[in-house]
Amino acid sequence: MKNVIQYLVVLIFFLLIGKETYSQCCSAGNPVSGDGQQKSIKKNSLRIYLSFKHSYSDQYYYKNKKEEVALIDNSRFDYSSLQLTYGINKKWNVQTELGYFFDKSQTVYIPEKYVFKGYGIGDLGITAKYQILSLVKPQSELVGSFGLKIPVGKLDEDMNGVVLPISLQPSTGAMKYNLGLYYSILNPSKKLSFYSFLYAEYSSLIQSDFYYYKYGNYYSFSVFGKYKLSNRIYTVLQLREELRDKDKRENDEKIESTGSKVLYAAPQILYNFYENWFLLGQADVPLYKYVNGHQLTNKYSFTFGVHKTLSLQKKSEV
């Protein structure tokens, strides 16, 4: 228990430091999805998670202060994704995720109102997870992961004869590589449990003849507290810090008004409505925002989802 407390203190420390590191509301590519549950699943089990996320951004920031920009009104997206996780054996899981932007838009006044509207398939995520440690007492688990995001969607979506800006394209156009570390501690006799997730993502250069662009590295640190309200209802409170380095353009020149640091509170409710079926609702509310230079920032987002874990084991094997 002492080790767990030390671990959580270190995570909270990471959440609170680093003022000069860096939020981007409207970056290209898939939004962070999933319900935060990165725990491993049993051999021959399949976890299916279908979700919908809406995000809305209308606040321009200069560093950590709001500012008015007359031209840009808002930026928003509606994104749905399907995540499949399969238990290959006791230690290894593989996870795939593919999503679709039903709407990825920006409203501007030039001075007349004009709406840029993109849509389409996002990037394909493939992640391998390995259970590094599993203890019975206290019931805890440490899972490491590494993965790829492959730009299978379009980067040349156009509207009225003009190719949309990169930030409104459904795909990032760049290969991304990520590492994750998940730790959970559960105590069945108590109603409260904790878990945390560290995540880092490195982006390669956009694969295009026309663009020379490299997204900044992305890091997130999350701590979760889960409370069992009743036999069927759970509440989760997540604190998440997202850090993004500056993007680069030609000659590896850093782009000043990119990169950010945002601290989010994400309350979540889970409802076990039938056997191993769960409904999920989550809101992401930024508590603190610091951006490099001037940037449009996220005002709020919310997610709805449903997940279920199936056992694919043949009855004779059980």
Applying CB under 8 A, the site for other proteins has a residue count of: 48
Binding part of the chain for other proteins, among 129-137, 173-181, 233-241, 250-258 by CB under 8 A, reads 250-258
Residue from 100, 202, 302, 304 touching other proteins (CB under 8 A): that is: 100
- Of 9-17, 110-118, 126-134, 180-188, the segment contacting other proteins by CB under 8 A is 110-118
Determine the straight-line distance between the first and last CA of the chain, rounded to whole angstroms.
34
By beta-carbon proximity to other proteins, the closer residue of 165 and 267 is 165
Secondary structure element (H or E) that encloses residue 9, with its range: helix 2-16
User: Does residue 294 belong to the site contacting other proteins (CB under 8 A)?
Assistant: yes
CA dist 207 and 187 (Å) reads: 47
Stretch that binds other proteins, among 92-100, 142-150, 228-236, 278-286 (CB under 8 A): 92-100
- Interface with other proteins, residue 74, by CB under 8 A: no
The secondary structure of 257-272 as a DSSP string is T--EEEEEEEEEEEEE
Half-sphere exposure of 296 (CA within 13 A, CB side): 19
Residue 267: asked if its preceding bond is cis (omega within 30°), the reply is no
250 binding other proteins? (CB under 8 A): yes
Q: Does 13 bind other proteins (CB under 8 A)?
A: no
SS3 220: strand
Among 25, 98, 239, 263, binds other proteins (CB under 8 A): 98
| Contact pick of 21, 92, 293, 304 for other proteins (by CB under 8 A) | 293
Identify the three-state secondary structure at position 11: helix
Binding of other proteins at residue 256 (CB under 8 A)?
A: yes
User: Do the beta carbons of residue 160 and residue 187 sit within 8 Å?
Assistant: no
Residue closest to 49 by CA, chosen among 119, 103, 96:
96
22, 86, 116, 221: residue in contact with other proteins (rule CB under 8 A): 116
114 sits near other proteins (criterion: CB under 8 A)? yes
Task: Tell me the β-bridge partners of 163.
Answer: 158
Cβ-Cβ contacts under 8 Å for 274 (sequence gap 6 or more): none
Residues 139-198, interacting with other proteins (CB under 8 A)? 153-154, 156, 158, 160-163, 165, 170
CA 60, CA 152: separation in Å to the nearest integer?
A: 31
**What phi and psi, each to the nearest 5 degrees, are found at residue 14?**
-60, -35
One-letter amino acid at 190 equals: K
Q: Which stretch binds other proteins (CB under 8 A): 112-120, 215-223, 234-242, 260-268?
A: 112-120
Q: Is 107 helix (H, G, I), strand (E, B) or coil?
A: strand
Chosen residue from 15, 32, 46, 82 binding other proteins by CB under 8 A: 82
- Least Å distance, CB 26 to other proteins, is 10
- Footprint of other proteins on this chain (CB under 8 A)? 48, 50, 69, 71-72, 80-82, 98-100, 108, 110, 114, 116, 119-121, 153-154, 156, 158, 160-163, 165, 170, 210-213, 247, 249-250, 253, 255-258, 274-275, 277, 293-295, 306, 308
